[in-house]
Structure 1
Amino acid sequence: MTLDSTAVLTTRTLTELDHARLTKYADGLPASAIQSVLDNAELVAPSEIAGDVVTMRSRVQVVAPTGDRERRTLTLSYPLDADPSTGCISVLSPVGTALLGLRVGDMANWVAPDGSGGQLQVAAIAYQPEASGEHLL
């Protein structure tokens, strides 16, 4: 399979609702990293997702594995809500796809379409809709 960006193809945990919504986005795309994540996902009900899993609309604190390790906050967003200048990144971006379904402590790895790569560690989840009782957002 040829991917325009690559996220590590390990099993991720996704809510059934996130999976259903993201499948609609992925259906219109050529082979993509998000489709690989969806195809390999372990699905759980929104009310049963662990609080340390990155879900849609989660606000995640990440650190680079090298350098100053300063925490940055990113919010995993649907494409129409993405605004990188405010830290809202699209789930369809290489970084967003790499973060989806990871747990605190996991490493997100990706390769962008231009061939550059990156890596961020999930340091904490500052907000997860499901952990806050917001299961249908």
Structure 2
Amino acid sequence: MEVLAQERLLTGLDHARLSSLLFKPRFAASLPAGLAETARELLDFARVVDATQVDPDIVTMRSRVIVERPGIGEINLCLVYPSEADPDSGCISVLTPLGLSLLGARVGQVITWTGPDQREHSAKVLRMVYQPESAGDYAV
């Protein structure tokens, strides 16, 4: 699963919360094969910044973005923690291949992920609808 093709930027709070989830053995064991390792790699290699310093075009936790999928069109997504996921309403868990591809991505970037069908999928991050840090919501 290739999600580290480009440098990722994460806020310190997002990094800490995701690390906390991934280092709970029972939780990590419940993830699909390889996903926990991919998430740990993302956390290990990401550049971590204070929430007040994150660029407004970076996808952070609880950001809402519009992505465009080839042949499908525009989709409104919100990046959330696993307990908040609701794919039918566009709330995508960060601990899915799509979610990991979105985390730390920049508006204008093309993201790729391997779907449940074992095929590679892609989408372009078109625009940011809401980023908590840009709105001054540093603790969400």
CA distance in 1, matches of 2:133, 2:8: 16
Superposition deviation, residue 134 in structure 1:
0.3
Q: Is 1:104 the counterpart of 2:100 in the alignment?
A: no
Gaps of at least 5 residues in structure 1 are none
Superposition deviation, residue 34 in structure 1:
1.2
Percent sequence identity over aligned pairs: 41
Deviations 1:65-101, CA, capped at 9 Å, x for gaps: x325x21100000000000010000000100000100
Counterpart AA for 1:35: R
CA distance in 1, matches of 2:123, 2:56: 19
Superposition deviation, residue 113 in structure 1:
5.3
Give the match for residue 48 of structure 2. Answer: 43
Gaps of at least 5 residues in structure 2 are 30-35
Where has structure 1 moved over 6 Å in runs of 4 or more? none
Counterpart AA for 1:86: S
TM-score normalised by length of structure 2: 0.87
Task: Give RMSD over aligned pairs.
Answer: 1.5
Count of residue correspondences: 131
Where 2:134 maps in the other structure, the secondary structure is helix
Counterpart AA for 2:41: S
TM-score normalised by length of structure 1: 0.89
Superposition deviation, residue 115 in structure 1:
1.8
Superposition deviation, residue 114 in structure 1:
4.6
Q: 1:118 to 1:7 in 2, by over 3 A?
A: same
CA distance in 2, matches of 1:39, 1:112: 23
Q: Which of these residues, 13, 33, 49, is aligned with residue 17 of structure 1?
A: 13
Superposition deviation, residue 38 in structure 1:
0.5
Q: Is 1:94 the counterpart of 2:97 in the alignment?
A: yes
